[in-house]
Amino acid sequence: MSNPSLLILAGDGIGPEVMVEVRKIIDWFDAKRDLKIDVTEDLVGGAAYDKHGTPLHDDTMAKAQEVDAVLLGAVGGPAYDDLDFSIKPERGLLRLRKEMDLFANLRPAQCFDALADFSSLKKELVAGLDIMIVRELTSGSYFGEPRGIFKENGERVGINTQRYTESEIDRVARSAFELARKRDNRLCSVEKANVMESGILWREVVTKIGAEDYPDVELSHMYADNCAMQLVRNPKQFDTIVTDNLFGDILSDCAAMLTGSLGMLPSASLGVPMENGKPKAMYEPVHGSAPDIAGQGKANPCATILSFAMALRYSYDQGAEADRLEAAVEKVLADGVRTADLMQAGAAKPASTSEMGNAVIKALDESL
């Protein structure tokens, strides 16, 4: 039986730095837990453009289709701002999502106890927060046609089309219902059915699925603008949220900041099943490429490390090892180890990227 496979696309900015720490952890699982993963590496984003003139080479796309999971760092940076839209670094990421058909984006927003004071909200509102946002990722206004900038009546007009089919809504809704069953059995579906026909269809499809196939899951509905308000008013009222591409992009970033730092937040994008029955999958931190601190050893690797933990859980059927890795990160934070993004004024010298990674390795050793 072959080993599970992983394609690492470190990307740009701080991506390669944080990925070094993940490689240490992969090596630890190999040496200490006999969990062997076949790892290959390639380029994406600006790094791929610099070498190939495209943000994602066709050969890299083919590799991504063949492996059990892809782990991506981050893409982009000011050096690529003047490129044509069609070859900007972000187009590589969007191509991966679209061609792998990664339709369900899982964005956990968990507030570790040790970081509750770092949230912009009062501690009592966020302590113990654990939300999962399921965002539809391959349709909606980011992909709908027609789109573009056109001339009309003597002036330019920008057009994006919000478009959803029943089947696109159905599959992401079922993913969210299944996740809700494994959590607190509560699902909130978010749209704008009061002003958008796509929202009306979304609500109808989700309601029908819930009534027919998931009557055990408590289903509620909320308009997207109200959901944004409720996330900052009383975030712990939510457990699992399912929403479309645009609203999911906005609401998941809003929820992310409740936790105190983007440097702590992972994500998973899951797609259609492969021949082995497992979904195609890509894992990536929520944060960007942070070119302003690239190469300085200041980046927090935890979001990428926790993204690998999600890969252990969803792609490699290693739930217990995922728990072990997540607990190690939590212990490091509880012990007071902090990268620069988690430092408060007047605190001691922050840990470097590699020091944070080493601390997680030490915590993993102590877990044995």
Whether the Cβ atoms of residue 171 and residue 213 lie closer than 8 Å to each other: no
Catalytic residue numbers, as ranges:
142, 192, 225, 249, 253
Distance CA 230, CA 303 (A): 25
Radius of gyration of the chain (CA): 20
Cα→Cα distances 241→113, 130, 268, Å? 22, 11, 15
Distance from C-alpha of 280 to C-alpha of 40, rounded to nearest angstrom: 16
Q: Which residues pair with 279 in a beta bridge?
A: 273
- Cβ distance 299 to 352 under 8 Å? no
- CB count in 10 Å sphere of residue 325: 24
List Cα–Cα distances, 324 to 9, 175, 320, 327, 351, in angstroms: 24, 25, 6, 5, 22
